[in-house]
Chains A and B, each alone.
Chain A
């Protein structure tokens, strides 16, 4: 379990990173906290020619609040801006941000479920988003909130809504010359309530199913992770009772759930129904 030979580059600036990505494209991989990429390197499931380490790029270590957003995703609760988290910010640093629970409560609720104390110390927000594991918490939360990803390349910067960014199992809209520069979580909306719930076999494991929900005066926005190949988001009116059950059941059936060594597809669908109902009822 040793990585294949690799050229390692420690970048000091975003310009250096994008220059290398422009030059190497698919042959390069960006290394931030390494909590997902390093196991793949050790197992030789990934063997890039070049690793670009962004963990010491000061520009990427910033957290900015109240950043104007494109409001590109009409379905989410009204917000007047976003918390923009630089690609090199660790999960632990965001977790320790005193204003986090006020700014983006759903992120504050989900962070403790991500891996463990030791992996959050190194793992980054941007890395988790770029890795796009369908069972991971952060992609789910970003999709649930209708957030955005800022992608930077020598060609410029573009922002992509979460729903278009996550393209499938470990697949995103990030192009070979692009760097996930920032992740934008929309600020909490007035009167909106946020919740997050998941079931994993052990504390810190990836979710067998996770549900994130936002309930506003007239809408329920619900997102499901761990079941399909990417987070699935739906927006409903304020359903309750059997109408809510029916909607959850229909959502669960639409998801392409699969059996694996740990849980059956029908179990995952069941979790979508029960977690969804208890979460929505709690937020109602």
Chain B
């Protein structure tokens, strides 16, 4: 079957949808990938090492680098003083006098914050010199717990801001108060979501060169965008954006959102290069990565629902507190606002109240982590749905069925502004139940329980947003402040298709892939448009901000590839096709609209015998411009910039369509808790998706499996732990636990496809769904296994055996009492 997938299809237009093997793999399997640390650098490039704060909160009273500078091979030491002289603090998306520099200036606010950079002839020598930099710290009281940090008497991180709560906004849609007043039931849940991360196996890499003569900086990095951050970096470096050249190598070792957070280190290395007078290379090591790179926001949520006797939810009230760490680093507080339009999830709930507070604590600044915002929202929402079923004595499946957005209602406008583009949630649910064999699971649960064993079944229904509206973050501002700042919206994607002088097709894209197989998928898409085979298409995924088509939304995040970038490539290929049709129409003796592109040939629909080869047809654009039809430009290269029409700026009522498309997933988890050890054994996990049209099913399933493994890690073992004094307890891969092949079971995957009407190919994202659904689905199953007596607020991720066993003991004490 696999072999069939690789073969040419019988007719054109059918490469998309096939589980093609990846063109990326041969180089990667042979060890011949070119990752950032493998890319060539200029001779004389120096190595950087970063001195980081051992304290969570302290005033820096003195830095003396004299001893370090005298050491062999050391060429420069960069400190806060250099950074103050040559850069500006990073801009912040809420108007607050917060000064966040690329290196600490005067004060450190989290353990692991960069304090100085040593530049030396090699990394070993640079690390030697770190130990010789003398820093005097005067310790300040740390603030670790987000709730405590929000109290008026808390120790303040940024004196000029005057409070650790840097944003506090409330929203109201419909009339939620009336719904709560009328409701037969009010069901409430209090939850916390932990800080964790995607921890790609390749850490960050930056090679920066300060260019003389005011030419700015040249940077090679595995930074993944969003390229809106190019503006943040160039403003910090006090240069025009055009003078910051950003390049990305051919391959990248995963990101999961995390490498977005490299941008402050790009600025730091630019400064280091300027000071050292030579190119500087920094390779983040694993200890640096864990302590200092980034984290998902930790969140404290109270969520309440107004519910009828039948389980129908009439209103939701969210109170969310996001722990963004020591600085509000761009694009935070986007973790909140990415999800804002769809805070009602998969449900038809017309009335909504939201309060969002952002609090700073003495922890690593938060940022993108796969699922961005989704895990936090759905952990509350889907735990709540489970509680509604428990408290009202309903079958949870009925609660889903009664509340889902009805199948015929798409596109459906959610109260906070999301325009749910397409879907059939009820059908996905039925497919999921069949895939999971839920009747069998319920029988297994009954049998297990009557034998005294702890067996539980959990569900989760999630809407997976993709292709983020670049304007959603402005929902954090009041409508008045927004009007003053000017509207922002859209999600521009760019792709270039070029046909060369021998008819070869090259495609350039703006997606900065981190291993997802974009080159293969783009080849499938463009092959279909041009009547070629994917093998004929050369896809260039390297990035160069000076040479590629890109705009603010470029990058590898918000699952924008399948819907936006692949769509733009499709449109660019169609443009090339139109031009070729015009060029060849004369020779083929037909109208351009009647030129057929199939199997590497062009022919008139009425005369398949008289075909021109694709290469021959394309050749004229290069070799014989005189033969081109009048008005036709020579050369054959088309760049398309595409933005979804449906992404407007937030309106005067704070409604915003936060993403262009919304996929759906329904998960079922059955598990057993070992009474002796508290450990969890997953008996079955089924995950069923609607991601619109699927471009390559093998790659889509790969995204599902990878997201599932990460979601399982978040559910059961992954957490960035801080001690009360702010010291970091998860500083190595022996402390921050990532699931291995022994811990990750094989999920049953099923799909249903309702194409998006809003993307060129009908595709939606699929890469983040399980990061959103799996943590809460497993938590619901654990709660079910522990029984109705368990304190719902005690279900806190990660559910380690130690925590679970304490709950087993507490629950059974209560039952026996």
Contacts and interface: CB of A to CB of B under 8 A. Distances in A.
A243 B700 CA distance: 57
Interface in B759-806: 800-802, 805-806
Most chain A CB inside 10 Å of its own CB: which residue of B721, B802, B806: B802
A87 B573 CA distance: 66
Interface stretch (B300-308, B632-640, B674-682): B674-682
Interface in A237-284: 260-264, 266-267, 270-271, 274-275, 278
Contacts of A270: 805
Interface string B125-165: 00110010000000000000000000000000000000000
Contacts of A260: 729
A220 B678 CA distance: 26
Contacts of B123: 2
B806 A267 contact: yes
A202 interface: yes
B739 interface: yes
B60 to A, nearest CB: 22
Given A43-B287, A199-B679, A4 B128 contact: yes
A202 B717 contact: yes
Given A5-B128, A267-B806, A201 B800 contact: yes
A96 interface: no
B743 interface: yes
The interface size bin for chain A is 20 to 34
Nearest to B123: A2
Contacts of B801: 199, 201, 208, 263, 267
Interface string B275-302: 0000000000111000000000000000
B730 interface: yes
B677 A199 contact: yes
Contact of B742 (A5, A202, A266): A202
A278 B740 CA distance: 27
A282 to B, nearest CB: 13
A267 B128 contact: no
A261 B734 contact: no
Nearest to A47: B131
Nearest to B730: A261
Contacts of A271: 677
Contact of B740 (A44, A202, A263): A202
A206 B124 CA distance: 30
A22 B677 CA distance: 47
Contacts of B717: 201-202
Contact of B802 (A262, A274, A278): A262
B477 interface: no
Nearest to A260: B729
B805 A267 contact: yes
A147 to B, nearest CB: 27
Contacts, number: 64
Most A CB atoms within 10 A — which of B123, B677, B732? B677
State the main secondary structure of chain A at its contact with B.
loop
Nearest to A271: B677
B430 interface: no
A168 interface: no
Interface in A186-212: 199, 201-206, 208
B735 interface: yes
Nearest to B735: A261
Contact of A1 (B287, B730, B737, B806): B287
Contacts of B286: 1
Contact of A2 (B127, B676, B678, B735): B127
B737 A205 contact: yes
Contacts of A278: 676
A202 B739 contact: yes
Nearest to B47: A2
Contacts of B737: 201-202, 205, 262
Contacts of B719: 261
B127 A203 contact: no
Contacts of A274: 676-677
A206 B286 CA distance: 20
Contacts of B743: 202-203
A3 B127 CA distance: 9
A205 B734 CA distance: 8
Given A261-B730, A267-B802, A267-B805, 18 more contacts: A1-B127, A1-B286, A2-B123, A3-B124, A43-B287, A44-B127, A199-B677, A202-B717, A202-B739, A203-B742, A203-B743, A205-B734, A261-B719, A261-B729, A263-B801, A263-B802, A264-B802, A267-B678
Interface string B192-207: 0000000000000000
Interface string B720-763: 01000000011010110101101100000000000000000000
Interface in A152-197: none
Contacts of A275: 676
Contacts of A1: 127, 285-287
Contacts of A2: 123-124, 127
Contacts of A5: 124, 128
B298 to A, nearest CB: 15
User: Which among A5, A199, A206, A261 has the highest number of chain B CB atoms within 10 Å?
Assistant: A261
A213 B732 CA distance: 32
A261 B806 CA distance: 15
Interface in B698-719: 717, 719
A264 B810 CA distance: 15
A270 B743 CA distance: 23
Given A2-B123, A2-B124, A278-B676, A266 B806 contact: yes
A204 B740 contact: yes
B126 to A, nearest CB: 9
A266 B802 CA distance: 9
Interface in B657-709: 676-679
Contacts of A208: 801-802
The 4 tightest CB contacts between A and B, nearest first, are A203-B742, A267-B802, A263-B802, A1-B285
Interface in A1-30: 1-5
Contacts of A3: 124
A278 B128 CA distance: 51
Nearest to B717: A201
B256 to A, nearest CB: 20
Contacts of A4: 128
B800 A263 contact: yes
Nearest to A199: B677
A245 B735 CA distance: 32
B281 to A, nearest CB: 14
Nearest to B721: A261
